[in-house]
Amino acid sequence: MRAVPALLLAALVAPVVLGLWQTGRAAFGIMPALGRETPSLEPWRQLFALPGLGGSIRLSLVSGLGAAILSLLIALALVQALQGRLSAARAARWLAPFLAVPHAALAIGMAFLLAPSGWIARALAPLMDWTRPPGAASVNDPWGMALMLGLMVKEIPFLMLVILAALGQVPLARIMAMGRALGYGPGAVWLRLVLPAIWPMLRLPFWVVLVYSVSNVDMAIILGPANPPVLGVAVTRWFVSPDLAMILPASAGAILQAGLAGAVIAAAWGAERLAARLGPAWLARGGRGPAGAPGWMAGAVLRLAAMAGLVLMAAGLLAMAALAIWSLAFRWPFPLILPEAWSLNAWSMTAPGWRRALMTSVLLAGTTASLSLALAVAWLQAAPARMRAEWLILLPLLVPQIGFLHGLNVVFLRAGLQADLLAVGMGQMLFVFPYVLLSLSGPWRAVDPRLMRTAAALGAGPWRRLVAVRLPVLLRPLLTAWAIGIAVSVAQYLPTLYLGAGRVATLTTEAVTLASGSDRRVSGVYASLQALVPLLAYACAFVIPAWWHRDRRALAGAFR
């Protein structure tokens, strides 16, 4: 039992390291399967000769950094604006749909919203006298703006939850009261006192967001520019190119992507060190802003950001609605706001396809989420206190997927593991388990230790303490962690693509493929299903504990 955390850590870290190592070897010309045995710099020369590489790198950096930094700013502003009105528990309920909906489904919905023939243009049409969709490239725009918006809609809610959880760990009310009594405005107190206090808890989640933003593939395929695309998409194209020799420069590109993520993290770390170095002097100056208007600048920026955040959240909800409506539309000519004729045709005609994809997705999600939950319980049972190495479980989230997944596929094949459902499931575990463990560990450790001691004093051994006290008390967080696991699994694109060698079709791989097709109704069907599965899991996580504990005031939080 004691060894569980160490074993699980090894099982998470080893595939990342092995995959990176394998990709790295290919990047330097060693690929025995292709008969390449001698190290060379040729793949790098090829990579840098590829057209558009510079543009891809620049796009990844600009859209990724932009989305991550703006998301952090907006999440902070929204939490600050809603402070006092929004408990962590209520926020979790409101933000759940945004966390549940997979990146690809949201991206497809955002495309339905932003496209020249999308909802926004339809709403503007009467004002602008448009009878045909305007010619602007409002999706797949060469600057990656649509991609940034899509990323932000997913990242802001995640960061808000992280911030709210961190705020629960500091005496927020007292810090606010003290700061304001000293003459600082609320925004100024946030910047000077609250943010430094919670940043240690935000650092790693922010890095995860940074890495995802500069390296994501599925959202960028749907919303990002096509020529040149962001680096992740370009590398994916090279990896799946029919010319097998492209694997070598693609591997170099994958390593470049990992390096890019590393550089971005290093920059974030540097900025943090700089702030820590300069901060104390700035704080000691005691500036309270111009007399009479303490912190009005900070206040104005925060208000603007909070407003932008609300607009983005509304756009996200509309995007989700657009998915469902398109899937049910029969005829929906521009510039009508709603379809002229409705039908279930899109659903019934694609039924054989989506049924199979749905089964595969549900099977994968159910298995990986349930297994992750069991392993997380085993981990926390064996290591009740935080371990120093615990941050390592985030490694699969801190290294861009593209950097190690192709290599991992090679490792799997060499170990005799076919590219099939099992391999995909194992690959997904690398991403599902960390989220499940992270989500469960806080509530698990917050259980009053005296409650467990009381149970022991009443004669309950370790097993009974777990099954009869801890698990029932934690029913809600257990189911929430499981729902998060479902959402993470359903959303996986690259692990399914690479470890299934393109042969395992899930709702997500199908939705991404269909998104570039011409029939919005069909991609509406797949994207709706893709969003529906995790939403149902989240609904279970709210309803089941509320019903189970309906007569237990201390545990029945959700609907009160």
Partner 1 sequence: MSLILEHVTITRPDGAKLIRGLTLNVAPGSVTTVMGPSGIGKSTLLDAIAGSLAPGFALSGRITLNGRDLTALPPERRRIGLMFQDALLFPHLSLAGNLAFGLDPRIRGRAARAQAVDEALAEAGLAGLGLRDPATLSGGQRARAALMRTLLAAPEALLLDEPFGKLDMSLRDEIQRFVFDHAAARGVPVLLVSHDPQDAAAAGGPVVALA
Residues 367-406 that bind partner 1 (CB under 8 A): 385
Binder among 376, 455, 479, 558 for partner 1 (CB under 8 A): 455
In 146-168, which positions are buried (b, 16+ CB within 10 angstroms) versus exposed (e)? bbbbbbbbbbbbbbbbbbbbbbe
First-last CA distance in the chain: 39
Q: What is the DSSP string of 512-543?
A: HHHHTSS-HHHHHHHHHHHHHHHHHHHHHHHH
Tell me the torsion sign for CA atoms 101, 105, 108, 109.
Answer: negative
CB 152 within 8 A of CB 71: yes
Q: How far apart are alpha carbons 169 and 172 in whole angstroms?
A: 8
Tokens of 155: 């990242």
Among residues 27, 161, 214, 473, the one that binds partner 1 under rule CB under 8 A: 473
| Binding test (CB under 8 A) with partner 1, winner from 55, 116, 335, 472 | 472
- Of the candidate spans 28-36, 90-98, 167-175, 450-458, the one that interacts with partner 1 by CB under 8 A turns out to be 450-458
Question: Please, which residue, 432 or 440, has the CB nearer to partner 1?
Answer: 440
From candidates 84, 352, 459, 517, binder to partner 1 by CB under 8 A: 459
DSSP sequence for 324-381:
HHHHHEEE--TT-SS-SEE-SHHHHHTHHHHHHHHHHHHHHHHHHHHHHHHHHHHHHH
Read off the amino acid at residue 138: S
Rounded to whole angstroms, the Cα distance separating 323 from 320 reads 5
Whether 460 contacts 469, CB under 8 Å: yes
| Among positions 456, 466, 505, 539, the unique one binding partner 1 when judged by CB under 8 A | 456
User: Residue 243's CB: how many other CB atoms inside 10 A?
Assistant: 7
Nearer to partner 1, 1 or 281 (CB): 1
> 395 or 555: whose CB is closer to partner 1?
555
Q: Does 69 bind partner 1 (CB under 8 A)?
A: no
- The correct pick among 468, 502, 516, 559 for binding partner 1 (CB under 8 A) is 468
Q: Give the total of residues touching partner 1 (CB under 8 A).
A: 27
- For partner 1, give the closer residue by CB, 121 or 452: 452
Whole-number minimum distance, CB 484 to partner 1, in Å? Answer: 22
Angle at 104 between CA 408 and CA 404, to 5 degrees: 15
Nearer to partner 1, 256 or 455 (CB): 455
Q: Decide whether 417 or 555 has the Cβ nearer to partner 1.
A: 555
Of the pair 285, 553, the CB lying nearest partner 1 is at 553
453 binds partner 1 (CB under 8 A): yes
Smallest distance from partner 1 to CB 472, Å: 4
Residue 421 engages partner 1 in binding (rule: CB under 8 A): no
Contact region with partner 1 (CB under 8 A), list: 412-420, 457-465, 486-494, 523-531 = 457-465
Sequence letter at residue 531:
A
Query: Of 8-16, 37-45, 350-358, 462-470, which part binds partner 1 (CB under 8 A)?
Result: 462-470
- Compute the least distance from the CB of residue 456 to partner 1, in Å: 4
Provide the 3-class DSSP secondary structure of residue 329.
strand
- Of 106, 141, 110, 115, residue with least CA distance to 332: 115
Q: What is the DSSP string of 263-278?
A: HHHHHHHHHHHHHHHH
DSSP of 138-152: -SS-TT-HHHHHHHH
Alpha-carbon distance of 139 to 141, in angstroms, equals 5
Options 4, 18, 240, 475; binder of partner 1; rule CB under 8 A:
475
Nearer to partner 1, 243 or 448 (CB): 448
Omega before 396 within 30 of 0, i.e. cis: no
Candidate segments 231-239, 362-370, 429-437, 445-453, binder of partner 1 by CB under 8 A: 445-453
Q: Which of 348, 461, 517, 560 is the binder for partner 1 (CB under 8 A)?
A: 461
Whole-number Å distance between alpha carbons of 118 and 116: 6
Q: Which residues from 518-557 bind partner 1, rule CB under 8 A?
A: 549, 551-555
Is residue 1 a contact point for partner 1 (CB under 8 A)?
no
457 in contact with partner 1 (CB under 8 A): yes
Least CB distance from residue 385 to partner 1, whole Å? 7
Residues that bind partner 1 (CB under 8 A): 385, 448-451, 453-462, 465, 468-469, 472-473, 475, 549, 551-555
